Structure 1
């Protein structure tokens, strides 16, 4: 009886171990198998590589636009009158003509230069967390940051409401959008609706995920495999391939862990919470259109995508990658680039 019970417990232990092992760290073994299958079975291997991992999803094409509402938000987004000295608009740090971000390492607002790089507004609606320190989790809440920050717009909602209400053109826009009276809530509603429309579907990688095996080239496919095998996908996931999780920046040899320079180092989420556990935690950036949005990292430390890949490999996974792998990863990241949001072309043609 004892032997049978021992045997049963032993079998259960093996089953549990196998089960747990398949839940955690499944990527590398699946990828190795995938690589073998792709060589053995051609197009079938391509299909497996597209669909083996459900952590990344394509952006769907936009649905019908509420043009009057989005038009009101678009006008507000570009209006420098929302800032305290009429010199800074949302678009000042989020260039709608290019990449939804800016080309400078850090943003410059009413109070001068800030300390962090502006994240792109394109696809921002797909994020769960906002700001590099992840302090808010909605587009509406996010707006309070730049509006009130002395270095950015240095304003307030009462001042903005008074300004907007004084302009006859806004009365017309808000009437057309059916969001009168002009208030902080209606202004925020219009701005959120505009930002929600700034999606960039139809990247080559999205088409690949949707079944077009020729949408990306061989280096990009190899880069996608490496992206999974190295564990990048554990943080950069979802429709936006990032934008939701908080992670410590610098597990291996990063200068942010040097306590002798602590006064000059951005400590990430800690600067909001003052919780020691939050030191050096930053929001994982979206990789959508990443090839078009240098400079990289919260401090804009490099304009080179390949250099950014090297930095991430060194300090996040403790690896020095071969140049061929870096090139493949770069090819994959370029395949995440898509045309500007369609809504901008519609608005600009009016």
Structure 2
């Protein structure tokens, strides 16, 4: 038992002594929005097929049939959720600082001008916007029900006879789902650049308050799903910061000259640690020092020096950790360069311009 405790203590000490190095890089967005950083955002189009709620919630069994419980939504729920989604989308994209945005109220004004013969794309270009993002809730589904669960109670009368009495407890269940579509239109070509669907389902159930006889508002569930899309939306349209975490290679075989580098790295002095590791590698060919120097080059943002050093190490050693780091850093370097290209493209960059009609807008908005 003492031996086991000693091994566990040594393992904890070993893990705690590991120093993790974070390699920061830019992760490119799924869609290159470099040409479309001047972006107009329309208000979210509500679900046009949304049904008026029934007078009473459906009963799932005979005992709940006569409950007469009011639904947890109204005819205006679709409009209210669309309004909330509009605010959430604009706030999400605005907070990235990546775009020059035309807010929904102004974009909607231009879209309405198309009803009176104006060329929507031309009007948006005249205002300096290269693309318009049209969000639409294509489906909102709400299923509600109330049901009963029997609770058996026993009691004894004055003559000692036992009786069973059935008491019913009442519960409700709400299941909601949403399909949310974002469509990006190039105002110079009238072409749909990309379309992305987001879908989710949430449910809620609990005790039915028979004194109130109305279900809780389902808007909370829809708002929760709308918020959950925000992270995906940012990653889809905006380059984001990311980290690749790797632990330093252990000092095995031990090299006394490298110990100061491990301490510097643990204290957060990356530059000093890198130079010591590099010196030890150059003088003795100490594999862990070479690996760690390459890792710290990457942590400093110098991917070229890191990859070159790893190639040098692989020319002398066959080591799986070195090969893995080399492969991963090549991928990270390529992704970082792609993201930086997306960020550095000048505003207003377009490849072509052609005449177009308003038909694409009507198609996307479902009108």
TM range (shorter): under 0.3
| TM-score, normalization by structure 2 | 0.19
Whichever of the two has the greater Rg, that structure is: 2
Structure ranking higher in strand proportion: 2
TM-score (norm 1): 0.20
Greater helix fraction, Structure 1 or Structure 2: 1
Higher relative contact order (CA 8 A, sep 6+): 2
